[in-house]
Amino acid sequence: MDSSLPKALEIIIGELLRRCGLKLAVAESCTGGLLCDRITNVPGSSDYFIGGIVSYAYEAKVELLGVSWDTLKAFGAVSRETVLEMARGARRVLDTDIGISVSGIAGPGGGMPEKPVGLTWVGLAAPNGEWARVFIWEGDRLQNKAQSAEATLKLLLDYLQGFLNKT
C-alpha cells in the first residue's frame, strides 16, 4: 500500500479513540448503517466501538434512543434538536464516552421547501458538550448517504483532535 495516500477518516478516528481510551456509540437514520459499516471495516475497532442503532422511523428514535415525541413533532427528524437527542441517547443506551448521530433526507423524494432533499444534520454528544452541524448535499441518494457518513466522521475527528489538544 502506498504510504503517501491519506488514511481514511475511520482509520484515523480509530487510532485517536484508542489513544484517548474513549468508547464510541452511533445513532444513524438516513445512512442506514453506513457509519457502523465504515467504523467496523477497521481491524480492531471492537477496542473502541461499542455499537450502533439504525433508527430510521420516528418510533425507533423514540423507543431505542429516547428521542422525545415533542422534539420530533416540533422540529422533525431532520433537525439539530433531534440529532443531539439521538447522539445523547446512543451514548446513554450503549454507555459510551461519545455518541455520534446523523439524520437527513437522502432523496430522491421526501423534501419540502423548508427541508429540501439533501438536508442533513449530524450531531455529537460527549461529557464536555454537544455539537451539531448542518449540510445540504446535491447528489443522488447514495451520494447523499456517503457524504452524510463522511460529515459525521469529520465532526468526530474534529472533536477528537480538540480533545487531544486539551489533554
Within a 13 Å sphere around the CA of 51, how many CA atoms are in the beta-carbon half? Answer: 11
- State which amino acid sits at residue 7: K
pLDDT given at position 2:
52
- The DSSP symbol for 115 reads B
Exposure string for 85-123, b = 16+ CB within 10 A, e = fewer:
bbbbbbbebbebbbbbbbbbbbbeeeeeeebebbbbbbb
pLDDT > 70? residue 117: yes
Model confidence band, residue 6 (pLDDT cutoffs 50, 70, 90): confident
Instruction: Write down the domain spans for the chain.
Output: 27-162
**Per CATH, domain 27-162 is 3.90.950.20:** yes
Q: What digits encode the pLDDT tens for the residues 38-52?
A: 999 999 999 999 999
Confidence band, pLDDT 50/70/90 cuts, at residue 3: low
For the question of whether the overall pTM of this predicted structure is more than 0.85, the answer is yes
Kindly state the percentage of the chain with pLDDT values over 90: 93
